[in-house]
Amino acid sequence: MDKKVVVVALLIVCLSTFSWFYLNQDQKQEANETYIQTVIFQDQDHDLIPVSINLHNQMEMETDIRNKIDLMQSSQLQTYGLYPVLDAQLEIQSIELNNHILTVSFNDFLYTQHNDFNVIEALTYVLTDYDQVEQLYLQIDGQDISHLPNSTIPLNHLTKDLGLNNFEDASTFLHESIPVMVYQEKTVGDYLYYVPKTLRIHEQADLFLQVKTILNHINSKIHLLDATLKDHILTLELDSHILLDNETIDRTLEELMILSLKSLNDVEDVQIYINGENVRSQETSQIHYNYIKM
């Protein structure tokens, strides 16, 4: 009997160990399979807000696009103060990718939007958010379109540079400027969101002026002393008056600065120095914003 008890006990231990290992591996695999994707919604002021969602399965691009469009037509985020940008009856007819140009044909419910510019910006931002896509062409019923009715928005060269919440709809200045996404905090209902606005800086402006312009739009109290760019790292020297009592920068302010300055050409990361010391509190890769668990 004693031997049987020992054998049974050993079996239970082995099974328990195997079960723990198996479940733990499943959880690790699930974590590895999750990835962050961005879709666009709007608030009651019609400001476009990027929303980060955590998906559990990486899909082929066409399936991914169809799922994103479906989500952007839904009303399931209204409890968060967010409303769909796209008409519920908008349908994708075809999706083709050739030579880094993505062509998407919709039905004619692309015509029915109340805010055409928001629709174009949202579609462009989401559909060009793939490494293999450099430009977007829109079609209706398989036919190329150069603009939407009652709109002057040109549709023949849509790229990620179009941005979101543009200050200028269309002008010759767009072709003489550098687009940057400036993020600011906004309260929508009971929630706080980082909302980007596309600011366009004249292409002849030097680095210091570009950085100063961006920082002034985030918070006019930020005083820039110096800005240098080397090996894709932008290094700032700021005045010390923005430090908190514990000699650190407000985390929200830090994130708004990093997100905004990374939209400058060739900038991959940002270092912030005050009185000769780097005051960054977190890695850039750890900055996630407007995250909603689906």
Q: pLDDT tier at 246 (50, 70, 90 boundaries)?
A: confident
pLDDT of 55 reads: 72
| Calpha distance 201→188 (Å, rounded) | 28
Of the three residues 160, 192, 218, the one that is the final residue of a domain is 160
| Owning domain of residue 85 | 35-160
Same domain, residue pair 226 and 262: yes
Alpha-carbon distance of 21 to 12, in angstroms, equals: 14
Structure tokens at 281: 């509190």
Nearest-10 Cα torsion for 257, 263, 268, 271: -20
165 occurs within a structural domain: no
φ/ψ bin of 147: left (φ > 0), alpha (ψ from -120 to 50), beta (otherwise): beta
Q: Which of 159, 119, 167, 160 lies closest to 140, judged by CA?
A: 119
Give the residue from 132, 160, 188 where a domain finishes. 160
> Region 119-128: what's the mean pLDDT?
95
Residue 25 lies in a domain: no
pLDDT in tens, 130-146: 999 999 999 999 999 88
The count of domains in the chain is 2
Q: Bridge-partner residues for 114, per DSSP?
A: none
pLDDT higher than threshold 60 for residue 127? yes
Model confidence band, residue 96 (pLDDT cutoffs 50, 70, 90): very high
pLDDT tens digits for 247-258?
889 999 999 999
Tell whether the model's pLDDT for residue 8 goes beyond 50.
Answer: no
User: Which of 100, 130, 160 corresponds to the end of one domain?
Assistant: 160
Q: What percent of the chain has pLDDT over 70?
A: 82
One DSSP character per residue, 94-133 reads EEEEETTEEEEEE-GGGGG-S-HHHHHHHHHHHHT-STT-
Q: Is the pLDDT of residue 14 over 90?
A: no
Query: Pairing mode, if any, of strands 269-274 and 277-278?
Result: antiparallel
In a domain, 247, yes or no: yes
* Secondary structure of residue 254 in the 3-state scheme: helix
pTM strictly above 0.85: no
In the predicted model, what is the mean pLDDT of residues 172-181? 72
